[in-house]
Each structure stands twice: as structure tokens, then as C-alpha cells.
Amino acid sequence: MYNLNKVYGEGDTKVHALQDLSITVNKGEFLLIVGSSGSGKSTLLNMIGLLDQPTSGKILIDGIETTTLSDGKISEFRNHKLGFIFQFSNLLTDLTVLENVMLPRQIQGTNGSASEDAKELLKIVGLEDQMHKRANKISGGQAQRAAIARGLVNHPTIVLADEPTGNLDSVSAQNIVQLIKSMAKKLGQTFIVVTHDRHQFGDVDRVITIKDGRAFEDEKPSKLEVPA
């Protein structure tokens, strides 16, 4: 991301959610984005995830400037390049765990080895014996594990996780943290994780704090650069 700005409202109601923010994310990096409520960290994640458009600035992923893509191309790019893990698992309750994990591949239109890939991921996240259950028949921690598998099934360039432990008890949350970190290491996968609890994640590659829409690395102002 280069010189990213996001402004909401006009005149007296104008809010600068992001201000001249530039960040580079390296391939295979586990990056934490932290900050208080309203600091702009979720806005930043939405920009990277193409869920919202910046007011100005550029976002490059795999060398592609995503801010110039049409709506149709944005959807296609998101399906092929990005994986998402949210605070709530958002599993479809009328589908099995396996069917939920396969869903991004079906949307992508690459069903070929979707079942095998989904089953392998569910095995890795410890849900091999739960894959044929309906999604409403598993625990919250298990549902979040399934959501992690779903976020990885497309072999995305970047996995974006927004408060992935925010809806879990402390034990389940710690298990999910360890799972995400081990998956990142095992797969060499790039993770960008937004969290309000930096200490929960222990040692990571890098931590960026968002304050008033600006980026600070290691508590010092940073002018990073960004294609992921």
C-alpha cells in the first residue's frame, strides 16, 4: 500500500480513517496490526481485502494495482488471491463442515481437487472426524478451525484475519492462535492479522500499530512501503 488515505463524510463530519499510510508486507510474513477501537486497523484490513476502496493511494498485491480494478475484476481477484478469517466463523449451517470449506473453490470455479484439498486442510486443523457433520453441530472453536481451513483452500496470496479469536473463550482462543501460527509456518503463507490483543500472539515477524489512521512499527513512526 502506498500513501493510502480513507476519508468518511464531508465538512464538519469529515473523518480521516487512514492518513498517508504506506506498508510493505513480505511474502510468507506473519504480520500483526494492532490498535485501539476506531484507530483505523479494520479499515486498513478492508482496503487490503478489497472490501472497501481508498479515497486515494495505491494497493498492490502480486504486482497488480487493485485500486484500478473493475467491480467484476475485484470479485475475481478476491476469490483467487485472498483468504479471509473473521471474528465469527460465518459457516453456513445447512452445509456440512466439508462443504463449507469447499465453498470458496466452488465460487472460484476450480472444483477439480477441491474435495481432496478441503479434506487435507480439515485433517491438518484437527477436524478429520467432524467434516461430515452439519456446521451447527460443532463447537465454536471447531467452527473457527473450519473457517481457517476455508480461508486457505484457495491457496491465497494473503490470508486476512480480523480478530479471529474475538468470539472465543481463552482456551479456544489460544488454540486458534497456535493453529494459525503453525499453519503459516507450515505453508509459508502470508498472514495479516488484526487484533486488539497483541500479547496473545507472542512472537511474530512484525507488529504494526495503527494510531489515528497512521502506521507505527515497533512503537516508532514507520514509512513502510507495501505490495504484499
User: What is the H or E stretch that residue 84 is in?
Assistant: strand 82-85
Q: What is the pLDDT of residues 13-36, one digit of tens each?
A: 888 999 999 999 999 999 999 988
To the nearest whole percent, how much of the chain has pLDDT over 90?
Answer: 67
- Assess whether pLDDT exceeds 50 at residue 146: yes
Segments in the chain forming alpha helices (H): 41-48, 71-81, 97-108, 114-124, 140-152, 170-187
Structural domain boundaries in the chain? 2-221
What lies within 8 Å, CB to CB, of 127 at 6+ separation is 97, 138, 142, 145, 146, 149
Q: What is the pLDDT of residue 125?
A: 94
Q: What is the pLDDT of residue 161?
A: 95
Is the pTM here over 0.85, yes or no? yes
Q: What is the pLDDT of residues 88-140, one digit of tens each?
A: 899 999 999 999 999 998 887 776 788 999 999 999 999 999 999 999 999 99
214-217 vs 60-61, strand pairing mode: unpaired
Alpha carbon dihedral 111, 50, 172, 124, in 10-degree steps, equals 30
Q: Is 80 helix (H, G, I), strand (E, B) or coil?
A: helix
In this structure, which CATH number among 3.65.10.10, 3.20.20.70, 3.90.1150.10, 3.40.50.300 belongs to the domain 2-221?
3.40.50.300
Distance, CA of 87 to CA of 111 (rounded, Å): 27
